[in-house]
Amino acid sequence: MISHFLKLEWKQFFRSSHWQKGIALKIIMGFFVLYFMVAFLAIGVGGYYILKKTLPALDPLQLVNSYLLYVVLGELVLRYLMQTLPVMNIKPLLILPIKRSMLVHYVLGKSAISLFNIISLFFYIPFAVVLIIEGYDTGGALGWLLAVVLMTQSVNFLNFLINKSTIALGSIVFLLLATIGLQKFGVFDITVFGGQVFDAVYASPVYSLIGFVILGVLYNLNYKQLKSLVYLDEAVSQKVEEATSIDLSFANRLGDVAPFIKNDIRLIWRNKRTKTVFLMSFLFLFYGLIFFTQEAYRDMPAMLMFASLFITGGFTLNYGQFIPAWDSAHYKMLMSQSFKYRKFLESKWILMVVMTSILYVLSFPYLYFGSRIFLMITAGAIFNIGFNSLFLLYAGSFNRKKIDLNKSGFGNTQGTSATQFLIIVPLMLLPMLLFWVFNKFVGYNSGFIVVASVGIISLLLKKQAMNFIEKKYIKDKYVMINAFGKEA
Amino acid sequence: MITIDTISKKYGKTEVLNVASIEIPTGQSFGLVGNNGAGKTTLFNVILDLIRPTTGSVISNNIVVSESEAWKNFTGSFIDESFLIGYLTAEEYFQFVGDLRGMNALEVTTFIGEFEDFFNDEIIGKKKYLRDLSKGNQKKAGIVAALMGNPEVVILDEPFANLDPTTQIRLKQVIKKLTDTSNITVLISSHDLTHVTEVCERIVVLDKGIVVKDLVTSAATLKELELYFSV
C-alpha cells in the first residue's frame, strides 16, 4: 500500500507544473533551492565559529539553545501563514478500498517530510556535527539534535491543530511580542528558561525522549481529529466563501474602460494570489529602508536606484508581469466578445499607473532621508509609470502560461516562464545602468534627469506604443488561447 | 448567414476537422451531433475565431471571421465554463457582458428578469461567485449571457449537458422561441439525439472531423440517427 502512495507522490512531483516549465526556469529554480540549502548549511557549519568569535564569553550551544523557543513561536506563525495539510490529495482515494485510517496516516506522514521540516535540518545537522568536532560530548550533541528534530516535527503537527483558528494565530503573535517585550524590559527572560530546557537535554540526552512523547501526543490528536473529518462535507471540501459585492460605480466615469477596471478590481480582491500581490506591493514600500539605512550602499548609487524603483513599483512589477495571464481562465470568452482590445490593455495600464501613483504618495516619508533619496524615488516612479507600465504590457504578450487564480499566493510560481526573468533586464537593469553611467561620468543630477526623461518620453509615446502592443496581442491571439487552455 | 468554406484543421499529422462546405441560412436552428472527438467543439471554436483553421474560412453575415471582428457584435456564444469569469457573481457577470454589448444597467436587469423561470431561483441573489456554482447552474448563467444584446447568431456547445430535466425542457422552449419569433440563427451541439431532433430544423453528423450526414429534421430523423449511432 505504502509503495502505491509513494508511486503516486513520485508522479505528482515530477508531473507537477514545476517540472513542465522551460529549462531556464528549471535552472533558476534549481539555483534558488540550492542557494537556500547552501545558506543554511553555511550557517550550520560556520555558525558555531561566528558565535564563538563575536561573543567569546558565551557558549555557542547555550546561546543557540536560549533562542530556540523563539524559533518555535516564529515557526508557528510562519507555518500558520504558509503551510496547510494537503488533505485534498486524498479525495480520489476515498472511494477506493483503502482504510480511512491508512489515508489519515498517509496525509499526516507526508506532512512530516514537508520542506518546512527538511530545511531546518540543513542547519541543525551540521551544527551538531561541528559541536562533536569541537569536542562536545557526542551523546549530548546527538541527543540535542534528536530533541530539535522532534521539536520541529511537534511544531509541524501543532500547526495543523491550531491552523483553523485565527484566535490561535493572534495568541501566538501576542505571546511572541509579549515575550520579546518582557525580555526587553527585563521582566522575564524567556531565553534563560528556553536555554535551561535544551541545556538539560545536552547534559543528559535521555531527556530528548520526552520529545517522542510530545510528538506522539500531538500526532495522535491530529489523527483523531482528521479521521473524524475525512468526509466530503468536512475536511475534504472546497470552501465556499460568500460573495461580497461592493459598489464600484465610481469607476463608471472612466467611460469605455470602466467594465474592465471594475473587473480588475474584483479580480485582485477576490483571488488569493492577486490579493497577495496587491498587499505585498505595500510591503515593497519599505524596501528602501534596507538600502537607505546602510552605510555600505551610500556609495553605490546604482543600488539605491534599484531600491527606489522597487518602492513605487511593487504593484506594477508583480501584477504587470503576468498580464494577461490573470485573465487566462476566461481568455476565450473575452476573445469572443465585441470590444476593442485596446480597452482591455488600457484598463491594465490605468491600474498600474494609479497604483504606482498611490505608492508614490505613500513614499513621501522617505523625505526623511534627504532630498536626493526622494529625487531618486521620484525618478523611479516616473520611470515605472512611463516606461515600465508600457513595457510590461508588451512583455505580457509573451506570456504563455495559465494561472489558476484559486491557488494560493505565497511562493506560487504558476505562470512563470523565461519571460519573467528576461524582462528584469530592461525593467530594472536599464534604469540602474543609465543612472550609473550618467551619475559617474556626467554628474549626480544628470542620473535622475535621464531616468525620469526615459519615463516621460515613453509616456509621450504612449499612443504609438499602445498601437504596437495591441497589434502584437492580436497577432498572438490564437497561440495565447491555445496556451491558456492547457492545464497549468 | 454563416458559410463554412472548406474548413480543415490539422494538429501535426492528425486531421481533426475537414468540412467541405456548410451553408447555414438566417434563422435556421442548426444541430451538430457526433461522438467524442468528432470535431464539434473545434468547429464552433473556428466559427468563433478562437482556433485558426489550417485551410478555409468562415463567413458570418458577409464577414470573414478571421479578418474582421465585426461579427462579435451580433454573435453570442457559450462553449464551456472557461467562458465564465469565476470570481464574479452572476449579476456582475451579466452586467459585464451587458456593458460589452452596449446595454445599460437597467436593460440588463430587465433582460435577466425575463429568465426568472429559467434560473429557477438558483442564480440571482445567491451571494455566490460563479466558480462556486454547480456545473448546471454555471451553464444556465453562461447560456443566458450568450443571449444578451440581441445577437443574430447564437452558438451553444452541449447546452443540455449537466442541466436538470426542468431546465432542459425550458431551454428547448427558449431556443425554439429564438428561431421562431426573432429569426435568430442558432447553432447547438449535443450528445442527446432526442433534444436536437426536437429543437433543430437541420442536423449535421460529424465523424472524425468529416460530415457524414446532413439531414432536414423530420419524423424519421430520430430513428435514422439512432440507427446510425447504434453501430
Cβ–Cβ < 8 Å for A271, A414: no
Residue pairs between chains A and B whose CB atoms are closer than 8 Å: 81
Q: Say whether B82 and A331 touch across the interface (CB within 8 A).
A: yes
Residue of A337, A406, A478 with shortest CB distance to B72: A337
Q: Say whether B52 and A478 touch across the interface (CB within 8 A).
A: yes
Residues present in chain A in total: 488
Which one, of B73, B95, B200, lies nearest residue B145 by Cα? B95
Q: What is the pLDDT of residues B125-136, one digit of tens each?
A: 888 899 889 999
Instruction: State the nearest Cα–Cα gap between B225 and chain A, in angstroms.
Output: 32
B88 near A CB under 8 A: yes
What SS3 state is found at B73? helix
Q: What is the pLDDT of residue A301?
A: 78
Measured between alpha carbons, how far is B40 from B158 in angstroms, rounded to an integer? 9
B72 near A CB under 8 A: yes
Q: Which residues of A touch B52 (CB under 8 A)?
A: 478
Which pLDDT band holds residue A410 (cuts at 50, 70, 90)? low
Instruction: State the nearest Cα–Cα gap between B162 and chain A, in angstroms.
Output: 20
Q: Say whether A338 and B100 touch across the interface (CB within 8 A).
A: yes
DSSP code string of A380-425: HHHHIIIIIHHHHHHHHTT------TTS-STT--TT--HHHHHTHI
A167 near B CB under 8 A: no
Measured between alpha carbons, how far is A149 from A147 in angstroms, rounded to an integer? 5
Q: Say whether B127 and A337 touch across the interface (CB within 8 A).
A: no
Instruction: State the nearest Cα–Cα gap between A175 and chain B, in angstroms.
Output: 37
Measured between alpha carbons, how far is A244 from A241 in angstroms, rounded to an integer? 9
Q: Which residues of A touch B85 (CB under 8 A)?
A: 263, 329-330, 333
How much helix, strand and coil, in percent to the nearest 5, is found in chain B?
40, 30, 35
ipTM: 0.82
Q: What is the pLDDT of residue B58?
A: 94
Instruction: State the nearest Cα–Cα gap between B98 and chain A, in angstroms.
Output: 9
Q: Say whether B89 and A243 touch across the interface (CB within 8 A).
A: yes
* Statement: residue A106 has pLDDT above 80: yes
Q: How far is CA A342 from CA A257, A258, A473, B22, in A?
A: 9, 13, 10, 34
Poorest-confidence range of A76-85, A316-325, B175-184?
A76-85
For residue A297, what is its C-alpha cell?
550602499
Poorest-confidence range of A221-225, A269-273, B48-52?
A269-273
Residue of B79, B99, B128 with shortest CB distance to A243: B128
Q: Which residues of B touch A405 (CB under 8 A)?
A: 86-87
Nearest CA in chain A to B84: A330
Q: What's the whole-number mean pLDDT along residues B48-67? A: 91
Distance spanning both ends of chain B, measured CA to CA: 34
Q: Say whether A245 and B91 touch across the interface (CB within 8 A).
A: yes
B127 near A CB under 8 A: yes
* Statement: residue A488 has pLDDT above 60: no
Q: What is the pLDDT of residue A24?
A: 64
Q: Which residues of B touch A238 (CB under 8 A)?
A: 132
Mean pLDDT of chain B: 91
Q: What is the pLDDT of residues A143-173, one digit of tens each?
A: 999 999 999 999 999 988 887 777 888 888 8
Q: Which residues contact B215 (CB under 8 A, 6 or more apart)?
A: B202, B203, B204, B205, B221, B224, B225
For residue B73, the tally of other CB atoms under 10 A from its CB is 18
E strand or H helix at B60? strand B55-60
* Statement: residue A113 has pLDDT above 60: yes
Instruction: State the nearest Cα–Cα gap between B201 and chain A, in angstroms.
Output: 26
Which pLDDT band holds residue A412 (cuts at 50, 70, 90)? low
Q: What is the pLDDT of residue A341?
A: 86
Q: What's the whole-number mean pLDDT along residues A274-290? A: 86
**pTM over the 0.80 mark:** no
Q: What is the pLDDT of residue A297?
A: 77
Nearest CA in chain B to A249: B105
Q: Which residues of A touch B79 (CB under 8 A)?
A: 332
Q: What is the pLDDT of residues A10-61, one digit of tens each?
A: 777 777 655 555 566 667 777 877 887 888 888 888 888 888 888 888 888 8
Q: Say whether B96 and A263 touch across the interface (CB within 8 A).
A: yes
Cβ–Cβ < 8 Å for B80, B157: yes
Q: What is the pLDDT of residues A364-378, one digit of tens each?
A: 999 888 888 888 899
